Amino acid sequence: MSTTRAHLDAASSEPLHPAARETLLAALDHGWADPRRLHHEGRRARLLLDNAREAVAESLDVRPDEVTFTASGTEAVHRGLLGLHRGRGTSGGGTPTLVHSAVEHSAVLHAARWTGDPVREVPVTRTGRVTGEALSGVVDEVLRPAGGPTGRVTVAAVQHANHEVGTVHDVAGLADLLGDVPLFVDACASTGRLPLPRGWAAAAASAHKWGGPAGVGLLLVRKGARWRNPFPADDRVDERGTGFENVPAALAAAAALQAVVAERDTLGPAQAALVDRVRAVAATVPDVEVVGDPVDRLPHLVTFSCLYVDGEALVTELDRRGFGVASGSACTASTLRPSHVLAAMGVLTHGNVRLSLARDTDPGQVEELLRVLPEVVATLRGRVGL
């Protein structure tokens, strides 16, 4: 049994990167003032904020004026999706309609339904992939419905990578198919780990998922995109954001992003190889199904479901043995509903485990988990007489 705990849930939150910690501590002393003020302290905070924006832009290969710091990834998703919807919502004929994939993060689902406008969902394959055919099919149905009024797609949302199963989308290819329909890309699961794809009109990311501090999101709005603020305006540094800027956290988030992008070429393949091993070994446990795309996937994340096993019991038993993992099973959710991602893919929702590797995950601890997994699964099945 492991003597130290293994945090295998980096997709929920990656521990703070050392570069972020160092930057955060320094910036707390220098970035506290109001960056809109013209006094020395204000100008110093403004300089740090501008530095953070430039560092993020460089890391993601976007323009600095395309970057807005938000209070969370969720806020960035809301502003990105709803801002594109509002930018298109008032002009032209047809009922304004939002389209999103069936495997989007719940932030996208909730925001789309919050508008009160019609929402159409794009089905996915067994591996959680939105095909161009499926996306075009739903857009065509909105434009040319079999019955009822003609609609108009204001925005289509397709994530870069799925947060639960790791499947990565060909965002640029889907954007080409969409033509004039603006694409919103939730890049929260992939930012820092994979290069940002092209093709989005707006995108969102979340710093605590790449080793930055919590409470920092990124809203990216492509130069020239028709985006209108969906919420009350605020007279801050950045017209797309709201509230007093958390300058130290933004700078720390930027420092972490720079660091993980610099480490990506070595860390990514190492994590991908370890995940390949988890996929191979987990699949040998009787009645365990490894889900998500085996190749086009996030480097650090793997999900599998164990038939006849209670997800909550599995998480609890692994936790007792020192492994912190996530689950998409209904019994582990506050809503008691199974993961809508697993449901949309048509894969088993119970007995579900998601492992996601942090930058400092010890491969030996992953091997230890693989060693105990068959026994844990067999023990839990034994409790229900199987």
Partner 1 sequence: MSPADLELDCREMLCPMPVIELARHVGDVAVGGTVAVVTRDAAARVDVPAWCRMRGHEYVGEDAADDGVPRHVVRRLA
Q: Which residues are catalytic?
A: 331
- Considering beta carbons, is residue 49 or 325 the nearer one to partner 1? 325
Least distance from partner 1 to the Cβ atom of residue 381, Å: 9
H helices present in 217-339, as ranges: 247-282, 311-320
Q: Name which position in 338, 354, 359, 373 contacts partner 1 (CB under 8 A).
A: 338
Least distance from partner 1 to the Cβ atom of residue 146, Å: 23
- Considering beta carbons, is residue 262 or 384 the nearer one to partner 1? 384
Under the binding rule (CB under 8 A), the answer on residue 290 touching partner 1 is no
CA dihedral 310, 315, 316, 317 (to 10 degrees): 90
Under the binding rule (CB under 8 A), the answer on residue 329 touching partner 1 is yes
Q: Name which position in 38, 233, 295, 336 contacts partner 1 (CB under 8 A).
A: 336
- Considering beta carbons, is residue 207 or 380 the nearer one to partner 1? 380
Least distance from partner 1 to the Cβ atom of residue 306, Å: 9
CA dihedral 101, 198, 357, 78 (to 10 degrees): -50
Stretch 26-65: interaction string toward partner 1, x if CB under 8 A: ----------------------------------------
Give the pair of three-digit tokens for residue 324: 């912190």
Under the binding rule (CB under 8 A), the answer on residue 353 touching partner 1 is no
Q: Name which position in 247, 347, 366, 373 contacts partner 1 (CB under 8 A).
A: 347
Distance of CA 360 to the CA centre of its chain: 20
* CA distances from residue 311 to 168, 314, 354, 356 in whole angstroms, order as listed: 25, 5, 11, 17
Least distance from partner 1 to the Cβ atom of residue 186, Å: 23
Q: Name which position in 170, 293, 310, 317 contacts partner 1 (CB under 8 A).
A: 310
Least distance from partner 1 to the Cβ atom of residue 349, Å: 5
Under the binding rule (CB under 8 A), the answer on residue 382 touching partner 1 is no
Q: How far apart are CA 219 and CA 130, in angstroms?
A: 23
Per-residue buried b or exposed e for 5-29, using 16+ beta carbons within 10 Å of the residue's own CB = ebbbbbbeebebbebbbebbeebee
- Cα-Cα end-to-end distance for the chain: 25
Block residue for tokens 């809503």: 335
Q: How far apart are CA 13 and CA 147, in angstroms?
A: 45
Is the distance from CB of 221 to CB of 80 less than 8 angstroms? yes
- Considering beta carbons, is residue 346 or 364 the nearer one to partner 1? 346
